[in-house]
Copies of this chain bind each other. A is one copy, B any other.
Amino acid sequence: MKVSSENLSSFIREVMLKKGMSEEHAIICAQVLTMADLRGVDSHGVARLSGYLRLIEKGRINPKPTFTFEERKKTMLRLNADRSIGLVSAHIAMQKSIELTDIYGSSWVGIYNSNHFGIAAAHAMMALKHDFIGFSMSNASPLVVPSGGKERMLGTNPICVAVPAENDDSFVLDMATSAAANGKLEIAKRNNKEIPEGWAIDDYGQNTKDPNALKNGGSLLPLGSDKDHGYHKGYGLGSWVDIFSGVLTGASFGPWAPPFVSFLEPSNDMPGEGLGHFVGCWDIDGFSPKGTAKKQVSIWLERFRNSTPINSQKVKAAGDLEKATTDERVKNGIPLNPEVSKDIKEIASLLNIKDPF
Contacts and interface: CB of A to CB of B under 8 A. Distances in A.
Interface in A293-326: 293, 296-297, 299-300, 303-304, 307-311, 313-318
A168 interface: no
A268 to B, nearest CB: 16
A185 to B, nearest CB: 13
A73 interface: yes
> How many copies of this chain does the complex contain?
2
Contacts of A198: 228-229
Contacts of A104: 73-75, 104
A129 interface: no
Interface in A177-221: 177, 179-180, 196, 198-199, 201, 205
A104 B243 CA distance: 21
A286 B76 contact: yes
Contact of A304 (B106, B224, B232, B254): B254
Contacts of A288: 72, 78, 110, 248-250
B286 A149 contact: no
Contacts of A310: 148-150, 201, 205
A284 B250 CA distance: 12
A93 to B, nearest CB: 13
17 contacts: A72-B287, A73-B285, A75-B104, A76-B287, A78-B288, A106-B108, A110-B286, A110-B288, A149-B309, A149-B315, A171-B240, A173-B237, A179-B224, A223-B229, A248-B284, A254-B303, A272-B296
Interface of A: 72-76, 78, 103-108, 110, 146-151, 153, 161, 163, 171, 173, 175-177, 179-180, 196, 198-199, 201, 205, 223-225, 228-230, 232-237, 239-240, 242-244, 247-250, 253-255, 271-272, 282-288, 292-293, 296-297, 299-300, 303-304, 307-311, 313-318
Given A72-B105, A239-B304, A255-B303, 7 more contacts: A146-B304, A163-B248, A223-B230, A236-B318, A242-B300, A248-B296, A254-B300
